[in-house]
Amino acid sequence: MDEGTPEAGRTPISGDEPGYGIGAVARRLGVPAPTLRTWNLRYGIGPSRRSPGGHRRYDAGDLRCLEEMNRLIHAGVAPADAARQALKVRRPGGGPTEADCDEQVPGPPVREGEILSPAMLARAAIALDARTVGDAVEAALDRHGVVPTWERLVLPTFAVITRRQDETGLGIEIEHMFSDRLLFALNSVAGRLSHPVHPRPVLVACAEEEQHSLPAHALAAALAERRVETRVLGARTPYSALAEAMRRIGPAVVFVWSQQAETGDPAPLGRLPRLRPASRILVGGPGWQEGLPPRAALVTSMPAAISAVLSALR
């Protein structure tokens, strides 16, 4: 028998033992390790001790809690309700341990529709908990709207994720999963638009070879909240394709996003078609270089972009 594997008789561990790792607990309960991590993140049911080397370990009280959680779920109890009941059996007296108070362990269960902090949302992303990420972003968008969610939740969460990438060289999968859930939520907001306030749409695109498209989708969602119809062409839009789209739909405003300096050459903007009635040209993002043509205006924030669009529609 491997060291750290619970014995068949389920003998409680003593106070001097380091406890059990997640693999051993997963084998004992027949619950996949990713599910155990999700229960810890979403409901606060996780390891409450550490080994001498600093690794998290489940003790006997944690095992009782997990066994009860597993039993209740198999009995048909909703996971959130099962977690509330299971937490009562963690240990007699119910007092928190040192690990319970650790900053990496969430406190109250995360319920559907609850607004998470950027730190909690980043932990969900790092755990690749797509459901929690999606639910949290959608709840924030529904309660606060696109601009506050983008500025106060999404951007700080991205900062945590990218800082982790810089420090470890790992985590592209985290960024991609978070981006996917965010894009789904933003497109859902944009898709709710009915009865736009202006007959001419706003055309939104990324500069040629610019692959960072989330800000463009966020702007489209924010405009949809204000009943402004958009057409989003997405990442890496060739200027020839943007020009053709302008001719076909006659947008009131064209917005082009550039995040990287390599994609921020302003010269192609001067060659975009001049329509009648005219299209207002707006650009956003830190990639734009100096020398914007006179017909193009730089906006430096999402609220500024929204204000400029609404002004052009009047």
Q: In this model, does residue 101 exceed pLDDT 70?
A: no
Contact 312, 283 (CB under 8 A): no
pLDDT of the residue at 32: 86
- Burial readout 257-270 (b: 16 or more C-beta within 10 A, e: otherwise): bbbeeebbbbebbe
User: Given its phi and psi angles, is residue 50 left (phi above 0), alpha (psi -120 to 50 degrees) or beta?
Assistant: beta
Lookup: tokens for 52? 């001498």
CB 231 within 8 A of CB 202: yes
Average pLDDT over every residue of 78-89 = 79
| Residue 301, token pair as written in the block | 């924030």
The confidence band for 99, taking pLDDT boundaries of 50, 70 and 90, is very low
What gap in Å lies between CA 154 and CA 117, rounded to an integer?
10
- What distance in Å separates the CA atoms of residue 86 and residue 100, rounded to the nearest whole number? 15
Nearest of 308, 309, 255, 311 to residue 285 by alpha carbon: 255
Reported as a single tens digit per residue, the pLDDT across 168-183 is: 888 899 999 999 999 9
pLDDT 10s digits, 239-287? 999 999 999 999 999 999 999 999 999 999 999 999 999 999 999 999 9
Type and span of the H or E element at 187: helix 172-190
Quick check: 242 and 272 in contact, CB under 8 A? yes
